[in-house]
Each structure stands twice: as C-alpha cells, then as structure tokens.
C-alpha cells in the first residue's frame, strides 16, 4: 500500500513537434488526470524494485494525483509497498484537446470573417 514514501512522477511523451511537458503544462500541476491522456502507467514496488506496468483498461476514468492510496485501490494493489507511481502523459492528445478548447472559446468571441 502507498505510504508517506510513495512518490508520484508525472512525465510526458514528447509531441511530434518536440514539445515537452514543461512547455504544455507550464503553469498547472493537475490534481486529476483523465485516463484518455495517459500514455503509460506503472508502479515500482519498494522492496523488490520491480516495475509493474498497469494496463490502461484497469485505470479509473480520472487519476487523482493527490490521493495515491485511492489510485492503488482502484487498480487492486492493496498490500504492496509502492515506492513510485509513474504516469506518462500523451502530450499530443493534451495539446490537441487544449487547442480544440481554445479554438472553441475564441470562435465564440471573435467573428470568423475577421
């Protein structure tokens, strides 16, 4: 089970243009991550150092970063001591989502003919 020593590591798979997590999420550290934005999810066990990749289908719809115990319960890891929870984000999907959202917002503000 997660303890005070469990670290959550948030990484990003670079976009095709080479953008990194820092470039896309410069001001925000998310409290929750939608499963659709996860590229890879793994845990590292404290005692053995074994890295276990968790299939995306086992993840909850939203990964609550501030609550590692809840993350582990949701993927049926109940009695293991976990050292690291590693979440690799699909930055290409995040970038597309943000761009589409910005386009939707701006199209409601500005006339499309200008």
Q: What is the per-residue pLDDT across 25-70, written as a single tens digit (0 to 9) for each? A: 554 567 888 999 999 999 998 888 899 999 999 999 999 888 888 8
Per-residue pLDDT at 105 exceeds 90 = no
Give the pair of three-digit tokens for residue 112: 């499309």
- At residue 94, the pLDDT reads 82
**Exposed, middle or buried by CB within 10 Å (0-12, 13-18, 19+), for 5?**
exposed
Q: What is the pLDDT of residues 64-101, one digit of tens each?
A: 888 888 888 888 887 788 899 999 888 888 878 877 76
Nearest to 15 by CA among 39, 31, 35, 33: 39
3-class SS of residue 90: strand
Domain boundaries defined on the chain? 2-109
Question: Which of the 8 DSSP states describes residue 77?
Answer: -
DSSP class of residue 9?
Answer: E
Confidence of residue 23 (pLDDT cuts 50, 70, 90): low
Q: Which ranges constitute the DSSP H helices of the chain?
A: 21-24, 68-74, 91-109
For 1, other C-beta atoms within 10 Å of its C-beta total: 13
pLDDT in the model for residue 1: 46
Is residue 73 within 8 Å of 63, Cβ to Cβ?
no
How much is the pLDDT for 40?
Answer: 93
């Amino acid at each position: 089970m997660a303890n005070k020593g469990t670290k959550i590591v948030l990484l990003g798979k670079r976009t095709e243009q080479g953008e990194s997590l820092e470039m896309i999420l410069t001001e925000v550290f998310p409290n929750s991550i939608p499963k659709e934005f996860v590229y890879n999810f793994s845990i590292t066990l404290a005692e053995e150092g074994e890295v276990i990749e968790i299939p995306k289908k086992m993840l909850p719809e939203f990964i609550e970063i501030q609550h590692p115990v809840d993350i582990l319960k949701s993927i049926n890891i109940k009695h293991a001591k976990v050292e690291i929870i590693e979440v690799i984000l699909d930055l290409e999907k995040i970038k597309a989502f943000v761009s589409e959202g910005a386009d939707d917002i701006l199209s409601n503000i500005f006339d499309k003919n200008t």
